[in-house]
Structure 1
Amino acid sequence: MKRDVTSRIALNVAEPAELVFAIAASGHYITEAESLTATVDGTPLRIEELADAHETRLHRVMAPAGEFVITYRATVTGGETARGDDVERLVCLRQSRYAESDALAPTAAAEFRGIDGAAELLAAVSSWVGTRLSYVPGSSLSTDGAVRTLLARKGVCRDYAHLCIALLRGLGIPARMVAVYAPGLTPMDFHAVAEAWIDGAWRVVDATTLAPRPSLVRIATGRDAADTAFLTVVSGRADLVDMAVTATADALPDDDLTQLVSIA
């Protein structure tokens, strides 16, 4: 499947800032064409690529004060699915900042008692989260975790993913978050989904059902949103002014929600 992805982020850098972006397709992919540029007031800036875990590609820019713009474009034609090891799966069973599996383990045990098989639990958790939350843009804070999302009964993609992750970990299933480009997503934006270790592979969990899982393009992978943010202001001050994201596929696939799907 051929997928074209782009992102453009504009910032007002009020004080010289160290900026780190996670907007490039991960190292799992073959790219036919790829470009990444950054400017302040039209002047090109140096971009340094850093290798993060799970083949996440970070890009660091030292930006002087001014109007900052970073633009990314890529054509993704294929790649390999993510692999896992014992240590990684252990880490993905622990509670994390936004996925408080210790607090939600009793809820998971009560709601999913009697369901046998990891694949069946995966489907049950995804359906349960999808039917209990309402997708409401702007309804959550960047500091909200899974517990607050469940109490509020609403959120956006990252909130759905965090709740799925916390419940799955509470059931003894390793789970993590993935930031993705999502062809077919409406409205178009960066998207967040969960992954769970089922039958020897990482399987996508997207309780929002807003985009077909087979079309997703992996950007960043981690325990939760703390590891997958598209922008980190390490120092200085930079305020988001505008952001535009696009993602298209040459053939948008069907998504059978009864089937296990891995990001490739």
Structure 2
Amino acid sequence: MQRLVRAELDLDIGGELDLILAVTLAAVVTPAEEVLTIAQHGIELTPTELIDQVGTRLHRLRVQPGPVQVRYEAVVEQRATLPDTPELDCAVYLRPSRYAPSDAVFAQARRQFGSLRGAPLLAAVEEFVATAVTYSPGLSQGTDSAVTTLATGQGVCRDYAHLVIALLRAMDVPARYVACYAPGLVPMDFHAVAEAYVDGQWHVLDATRLSNRSGLLRIATGRDAADCAFLSYYGANLILDRMFVDATAVGDVDDVAAASDPSRDERAALVTLS
């Protein structure tokens, strides 16, 4: 089975700026084919690739005013193998962060999940967030934290992920944010999920239940969405005129369904992100 991913961004640059993209598959993923092009006025631009400590690939370049087109395609045939997790990472992902302030939801987490540990805790947190939050495109703000999501009961994938992460950290479980491509996702977009470190492995949770976790492909990993933005810029104004994201699985019908049909995901099972 193959997984095919594609992203297209059309940008209108208002002045000279520093552009940073995170749209390519993470370094832990080995695509069979991959092409990234960034062009302005028909001329291809060459970014500098930066890889952070958890394998997120950033592409950075200085851009002049005018339209810029970003195109990315990749084909993946194999599952990724995550490297061992340094002890420092576990410590970092236990701490409160900007959008996942675990200290602010500590009391709620302890009341709700106080006696649970391990896999049952992960399943209970995902179930709670899935039922407490309504998927509501356009109603949450980019500055909303897990506290806001808990109070309003609405949000999109990043909000679900932040609340899961904050609750797990409040229960002393290292948890982190992952931006990914999600075959079968509706509505299709860049997707966000949470990962929790239990029994020596990172396990993925998607409280939106809009994806099949076994088909996800990692783009960026961090403390929360602030570390995983697909587009960052500094120095001038930028308008995102158009964005197109696609992720599909191709192959045997049963294999494709097992990797892209959300209803085929056994939510109580522990799943590692490929």
Same fold (TM over 0.5): yes
Unaligned 5+ segments in structure 2 are 251-255, 259-263
Q: What's 1:256 paired with?
A: 266
Q: What's 1:58 paired with?
A: 58
Q: What's 2:32 paired with?
A: 32
Encode CA deviations 1:12-47: one digit per residue, 9 max, x unaligned: 101111100000001111211110111123222122
Per-residue deviation at 1:82? Answer: 4.9
CA distance in 1, matches of 2:122, 2:102: 15
CA distance in 1, matches of 2:82, 2:168: 21
DSSP 3-state at the match of 1:166: helix
For the pair 1:91 / 2:89, whether they are aligned, the reply is no
Q: Which amino acid in structure 2 is aligned with residue 235 of structure 1?
A: G
Question: What TM-score results when the alignment is normalised by the length of structure 2?
Answer: 0.94
DSSP 3-state at the match of 2:266: coil
CA distance in 2, matches of 1:126, 1:38: 38
Larger CA deviation: 236-245 vs 98-107:
236-245
Q: Is the 8 A contact 1:217 1:263 kept in 2?
A: yes
Encode CA deviations 1:197-233: one digit per residue, 9 max, x unaligned: 0121000010001010000000000000010000110
CA distance in 2, matches of 1:20, 1:76: 24
For the pair 1:100 / 2:101, whether they are aligned, the reply is yes
- Which one has the bigger strand percentage? 1
Q: Which amino acid in structure 2 is aligned with residue 127 of structure 1?
A: E
Aligned ranges 1:1-264 → 2 under 5 Å: 1-78=1-78, 79-115=80-116, 117-250=117-250, 251-253=256-258, 254-264=264-274
Encode CA deviations 1:66-104: one digit per residue, 9 max, x unaligned: 111101000012221353121100100000000010010
RMSD, aligned α-carbons: 1.0
Per-residue deviation at 1:114? Answer: 2.6
Q: Is the 8 A contact 1:19 1:235 kept in 2?
A: no
Question: What TM-score results when the alignment is normalised by the length of structure 1?
Answer: 0.97
CA distance in 2, matches of 1:59, 1:192: 20
Give the count of matched residue pairs: 263
CA distance in 1, matches of 2:135, 2:103: 25
Q: Is the 8 A contact 1:178 1:218 kept in 2?
A: yes
Q: Is the 8 A contact 1:53 1:221 kept in 2?
A: no
CA distance in 1, matches of 2:166, 2:84: 21
CA distance in 2, matches of 1:9, 1:203: 30
Unaligned 5+ segments in structure 1 are none
DSSP 3-state at the match of 2:59: strand
Q: Is the 8 A contact 1:4 1:74 kept in 2?
A: yes
CA distance in 2, matches of 1:170, 1:154: 21
Larger CA deviation: 213-222 vs 242-251:
242-251
Q: What's 2:261 paired with?
A: none
